[in-house]
Amino acid sequence: MSFLRQILESFRFAWQALRSNLLRTLLSLLGVTIGIFAIIAVFTLVDSLERNVKTSLSFVGDRVVYLSKWPWSFGGEYQWWKYFQRPETKYSEFRYLNDQLENAQAMAILDFKRTVVKYGNNSTSSQVQGTTYDYNQISDVTIASGRYFTPQEMAVGRPVTIIGATVADDLFNGQEAVGKTIKIGGMNFLVIGVQELKGKSLVSVGGNQPDIKCIIPYLIFSKLFNSGVPTFDVAIKGYEGDEGLLELESEVQGLLRARRGLRPTQDDNFAINRPEAAVKFVSAIFTVLTLAGWVIGGFSILIGGFGIANIMFVSVKERTNIIGIQKSLGAKNYFILFQFLFEAVLLSLVGGLGGIVLVYLLSLIPFGTLDLQLTTSNILLGLGVSSVIGILSGIIPAFSASRLNPVIAIRAK
């Protein structure tokens, strides 16, 4: 009980010292505030970006590879002149792979065309997507009202469509859309379903923005928009685990090379892309941003730490006489040490809290599709770093105060 009482007394002394020198306190904690703000702001930004990317990838599917003419590139030289000469994927090749693949759970064609869709006097710009029946097994197609396609509708290419939430609002102004007929490419399409509102995503793989899409069977899409050579991609979903995905890629590569008659010495004339490549590229940027945040914040915290240490030395000098009186009355060395150490930690924590509050205020500002959220782990990180800086900055002044001779300290002026 005596030890706890002395600890509380040390906190009281520290708080009184900070209140009595308010301007000096504010100036000394400014560096810590800026440093913690820089570090936690960067961590909050990185966490929010990663969360947004993962949410975006749920729309394009998990364990999915994309067969395409063009490889995805995230930096470096892009040899477009080489890829330009590659043949487009044919519908017969899609049917061949669909029949032959053993490591695929589902396959779907993905083809897109930006056009205007109409209902009565209302119209809106939409991204029309032509696809096949297994698309809902590859991507997240959540139906808010209505239903998904039937196999027969896909097989014969009936003029039916599932529209996004934004398209439904633009065309029907909140009224029921299912059962109505809209015009796509000058042709009438029956609305059989409306997707749930997904919101804009930070990462869009394969043109995937569900809210502004009209999904239609690929066969009728091809008749409407593919007057020349079709230019679609094929999404293929594998089984659980990285090993299953590697086996799927190898099988697709082997079958398509054989189908196209490529010799062993010839390079692939197609690309097998993974959405994870986008995540790896963004993760590399996140690493650089995090490092930059630590460097910028570290310099600010270093300056703030020196400021706190300087203030603590001044505080020890100003209260030398009081320290002598306390020790002459029986105060232990650890009581004096804790008194100044708590003052330094409290000063640093107040600065850290100031930085965290600034980050919280920043998270309230809308940044388009990016939803900034200050997490508990980042708050604890900020408080932890602040505490460590306070201890490191205050330990030497506090130790020197605890070692003062009481007689000499009382005589100090």
Classify residue 128: in a domain, yes or no. yes
Q: How far, in Å, CA of 37 to CA of 299, rounded?
A: 12
Classify residue 78: in a domain, yes or no. no
Name the one residue in this structure whose structure tokens are 């650890």: 334
Classify residue 155: in a domain, yes or no. yes
Classify residue 140: in a domain, yes or no. yes
Q: Find the mean pLDDT for residues 103-118.
A: 92
The model's pLDDT over 225-238, given as tens digits with 9 standing for 90+, comes to 876 677 889 999 98
Task: Return the pLDDT at 20.
Answer: 66
DSSP 269: S
The answer on 248 and 113 residing in a single domain is yes
Classify residue 225: in a domain, yes or no. yes
For residue 239 the two structure tokens come to 């089984």
Comparing CA positions, the residue from 129, 130, 126 lying closest to residue 115 is 126
**Considering the chain, what is the average pLDDT of its residues?**
82
The model's pLDDT over 181-206, given as tens digits with 9 standing for 90+, comes to 999 988 999 999 999 987 665 554 44
The answer on 261 and 120 residing in a single domain is yes
The answer on 120 and 256 residing in a single domain is yes
Rounded to 5°, angle at Cα 137 from 135 and 143: 80
Q: How many domains does the chain have?
A: 2
Comparing CA positions, the residue from 110, 214, 107, 229 lying closest to residue 159 is 214
Q: Find the mean pLDDT for residues 268-293.
A: 76
Element (H, E) at 130: strand 122-131
The answer on 139 and 183 residing in a single domain is yes
Q: Is 309 helix (H, G, I), strand (E, B) or coil?
A: helix
The model's pLDDT over 47-72, given as tens digits with 9 standing for 90+, comes to 787 777 666 655 555 688 899 888 87
Q: How far, in Å, CA of 211 to CA of 168, rounded?
A: 9
Task: Return the pLDDT at 193.
Answer: 95
Q: What are phi and psi of 62, to 5 degrees?
A: -105, 140
Range of the domain at 380: 1-57+280-411
Classify residue 211: in a domain, yes or no. yes
Decide if 290 contacts 43 (C-beta within 8 A): yes
Task: Return the pLDDT at 228.
Answer: 67
The answer on 96 and 14 residing in a single domain is no
The model's pLDDT over 17-39, given as tens digits with 9 standing for 90+, comes to 666 666 666 776 777 888 888 88
Task: Return the pLDDT at 7.
Answer: 63
Element (H, E) at 161: strand 160-163
The model's pLDDT over 260-278, given as tens digits with 9 standing for 90+, comes to 999 988 988 899 888 766 6
What pTM was computed for the model? Answer: 0.63
The answer on 387 and 345 residing in a single domain is yes
Classify residue 71: in a domain, yes or no. no
Q: Is 246 helix (H, G, I), strand (E, B) or coil?
A: helix
The answer on 112 and 53 residing in a single domain is no
Task: Return the pLDDT at 146.
Answer: 94
Q: Which of 215, 247, 269 is the last residue of a domain?
A: 269
Q: Which of 269, 302, 318 is the last residue of a domain?
A: 269
Amino acid at residue number 32: V
Whether the predicted pLDDT of 412 surpasses 70: no
The answer on 243 and 120 residing in a single domain is yes
The answer on 252 and 319 residing in a single domain is no
Angle between helices 22-60 and 276-318 (to 10 degrees): 170
Classify residue 328: in a domain, yes or no. yes
Q: How far, in Å, CA of 370 to CA of 368, rounded?
A: 6
The answer on 163 and 27 residing in a single domain is no
Is residue 50 classed exposed, middle or buried when 0-12, 13-18 and 19+ CB atoms within 10 A define those classes? middle
Paired sense of beta strands 104-119 and 181-184, if any: antiparallel
The answer on 121 and 50 residing in a single domain is no
Q: How far, in Å, CA of 110 to CA of 206, rounded?
A: 8
DSSP 7-24: HHHHHHHHHHHHHHTHHH
Q: Which residues contact 139 (CB under 8 A, 6 or more apart)?
A: 59, 60, 61, 108, 208, 235
The answer on 255 and 169 residing in a single domain is yes
Q: Which of 269, 294, 309 is the last residue of a domain?
A: 269
